[in-house]
Structure formats: structure tokens, C-alpha cells
Chains A and B, each alone.
Chain A
């Protein structure tokens, strides 16, 4: 397996903050993995993600994307090769669905025929009938449909890396489950490397090939869902697993297999 992404001792402290948002993080991600990043709010998840496409810049350390330091690259060109999906979706309200999906192809000056063929392909991929949805405006879509378009837009130019920042955070539970399954299907079909920030531990364990647990800007544990539930690395990870089940109203993890309810979400 090749290394898609590597963090080497990366730190970031925002101006005016006393504690670093990301504190000496080192890790590496292999091509084709789907990494979910979970942890407390303000734990550094989003900061970690946004340093990859340079929406934030690290104070120290290096982030290597396919072996190249992101800080040595032109940020605009770097971003053309990275898919980016955010919780607020951020579809452009003055553009149709088709125009929204075509944003990056247009930036890369694809010709019209190639772009429209790609738009149709992408809408089908995310489960939206192109004939029905192409000409609609974002305001005419449900929240779930909007995020499908957001996903299609991010996938438009076949990025090697997809960054997803709580993409399903504002979507109701039933729609969310559907979208999670779609995402797994798309990820499996596409073979790109995904980094997916969420505050929903069940979502993290369901989607992730590996789960990155962060708190206070530091990596608490970075392992497969099975490894984490069978051997939580520390008290924080253990407590996090506990909150997941208590919130869902299930019985305590202390009896029986640790993390069994969480694991059930994986299968």
C-alpha cells in the first residue's frame, strides 16, 4: 500500500488561543482508506482537516500529500485535486444543480461535452436522476439531496483525496443512514482516500476503515474500529465509547464485551 497522506509533527495554535488546536500530530494514511475523525468539539478535528487543503496553515511540522509538502504547492492548484464537503453544504444558490457540480471542471477549463457528461455520471453516482435534478436550484432540494449534490461537486474531477467535514451533521437520522451507505458504496467504487470528520461516534465506527480519535489537539487513538472497542487506548477513548452508548440509551459497556453496541453498527 502507498502512503496517501502523512502528518509529520504538525502543530497549529490560533491567534489569541492559549492551547494549541493541533498539538504535535504525526500519522499516516494509506491510499484508499476511509479515515473517520471523531472527538470532542474543539478537539482539533476540523483544524486537522483544513490544514490538508490549506484553509488553515500549520505553525510547524509538515503535511505530505502523495509525498509532496502541501505548503510548497500553489493552494489553488492543490485544492483542485482535493474534494471538499462541509456540513453547511455551501451550494451556490444562484447556480443550478448541474452548474454547481460543474464548478471545478469549469475552473479546470474542461470542454462543454466532457463537463456535461461528467455531471450526468456524478448525479447518477450520488443517486439523483439527472433528468429531474439538473436544472433545479439548491433551494428546491431537501437537505439530504443538497448534500448529495455537495458530494457530487466535490467528486467532480476525481480527486485523490476527499475531505468531509461533518457532511451529514445537519441531516435527519433516517436520511443520514441512507447517505452513509451511499458514501461507503461511492468510496468503494472510487478508490480515493477519504478523511471524514464527525462528532457522531456510531457514524465514525460504521464508516471508518480506521478511526482517529482526537482530544485537546492530540491523537488519543488511531486504529480500526475493532481494535478500539476491544482495547481502548486510554480513559478518554473509553469514556467516549461509553457516552455513545449511554446517549443511545443502551446498556452499559462495562458488562459483556466492551463496545459491543458500537461494534454492531460496524457490521
Chain B
């Protein structure tokens, strides 16, 4: 195990770096797209149901198959991998974003409107802070999912820890498999723990535990 690190730590670090990069890029793009979709869909309850269901069906396609299917359409490399990751994330993000915003008590929206807030002020000062725990939990799921699915992106030549894992699979080399698993698993666990802490902090700030 340690021998592999001594011999190949350059490669391990490069793959890990690629993995982080693709994860971060995918998440930023995903959040931007999901935010836009949410803003468009939010006033239309029926349409958002339909879209979330479609995104859910898409999310259910196994990632290995999807990456392979996308090769004729998008080619290979990091860009097609990013596109697929962003599409996967839309289900987790849009679903939670819409849930988060629509669970805000209509009485609060009414009070805010009556006090003379503009729709934008209501969104930013009332709905966003109240929806934040649900938004954060969607983001956490999307991060974990992206870290995992990004390993599969190695099949379309996007690099990342998946490269080490697929090499390990082909050469039946348990050391590579274990290294790849530890890196991806460790990253996912660390990110999950960090974001859980953020969510808890935001919830306690809202005094949710005391509200009825």
C-alpha cells in the first residue's frame, strides 16, 4: 500500500486533484443551472412536478451506461463528463430547492407582502434563509453523488480517481482498487461531515427544534 504511494504519489495526487476540480466545477455549474430552473419553475406547481419527475427518471439511468451513451453525442474528455454530472445533479438540487422554497409558510409571505417587501426582498430576506437547511441538504447530496459518479467519468477520459480504480479493475490490482476507494470514500465522508455541520448550525440558528 505505502509502496504504491511512494512510487506513484505524483499520479495519485494528480488524479485526486482532477477529481476535486471536476467535482467543484460540476457543482458550481449545477447550482447555477438548478437555481435558474427553480426560479422559472417555482410559480408553476404542476410544471415543477413534471420536471422533477423527469429529472428523477434521468437520475435513475446508471451512470456507466449514460457516460457510454453520451460518447457519440458529446465525445470524450472532461467536458462531456461535466455535462453528465451537471444533468445528474439537477434532480437532487431542483427537487430540494423547490421543496425548500415551497415549504415556507404562506402566512410569512403574506405578512412580508403586507409589510411592503418586494418579491425579490421576500425571496432574499425571508424565503432563502428559511429554505436554507433544505437547500443545504440538497447541495450535500449533490456533492456526495458527484464525488461518486465522477469516478465513472474516467471511462470517457475525464481523469480523476476513477482512472486508478479502472486500472485496478483491469489489472486485478487490489492495491490500486483500495487506494481509489479510500480516496473517493474519504473525500465523500469528509465533505458529508463538513456539510452536515453547516446544516445543523443553520437549523439551530432558525430555532427549528423549538418551533412546533
A residues apposed to B, CB below 8 Å: 53, 55, 76-80, 82, 84, 86, 88-94, 103-104, 107, 137, 139-140, 150, 153-154, 163
What chain A residues lie within 8 Å of B113 (beta carbons)? 55, 79
Q: Is the CB of A79 within 8 A of B115?
A: yes
Q: Is the CB of A94 within 8 A of B206?
A: yes
B residues apposed to A, CB below 8 Å: 105, 107-108, 110-118, 121, 126, 129-130, 205-208, 210-212
Contacts A94-B206, A137-B207 hold; do A104 and B107 have CB atoms under 8 A apart? no
What chain A residues lie within 8 Å of B108 (beta carbons)? 90, 92-93
What chain A residues lie within 8 Å of B117 (beta carbons)? 76, 103, 107
A94 to B118, CA, bound (A): 19
The 8 Å CB contact of A103, one of B115, B205, B208, is: B115
A240 to B149, CA, bound (A): 67
Q: Is the CB of A76 within 8 A of B206?
A: no
What chain B residues lie within 8 Å of A154 (beta carbons)? 115
Contacts A93-B130, A94-B130, A107-B117 hold; do A84 and B111 have CB atoms under 8 A apart? yes
Q: Is the CB of A90 within 8 A of B107?
A: yes
A94 to B211, CA, bound (A): 11
The 8 Å CB contact of A90, one of B111, B121, B130, B211, is: B111
The 8 Å CB contact of B129, one of A79, A84, A94, A104, is: A94
A140 to B211, CA, bound (A): 8
A59 to B116, CA, bound (A): 22
What chain A residues lie within 8 Å of B126 (beta carbons)? 92
What chain A residues lie within 8 Å of B207 (beta carbons)? 93, 137, 139-140
Q: Is the CB of A79 within 8 A of B210?
A: no
Contacts A88-B105, A94-B206, A140-B210 hold; do A104 and B110 have CB atoms under 8 A apart? no
- Shortest C-beta distance, B94 to chain A (Å), equals 23
- Shortest C-beta distance, A146 to chain B (Å), equals 12
Contacts A137-B207, A139-B207 hold; do A55 and B116 have CB atoms under 8 A apart? no
12 intermolecular pairs with C-beta atoms under 8 Å apart: A78-B116, A79-B116, A84-B114, A86-B110, A86-B114, A89-B107, A93-B211, A139-B212, A140-B207, A140-B210, A153-B115, A154-B115
A-B residue pairs, 6 tightest by C-beta:
A90-B111, A84-B114, A79-B116, A88-B107, A80-B116, A139-B210
Contacts A93-B206, A137-B207 hold; do A86 and B115 have CB atoms under 8 A apart? no
- Shortest C-beta distance, A101 to chain B (Å), equals 11
Instruction: List the A residue with the shortest CB-CB distance to B212.
Output: A139
- Shortest C-beta distance, B196 to chain A (Å), equals 20
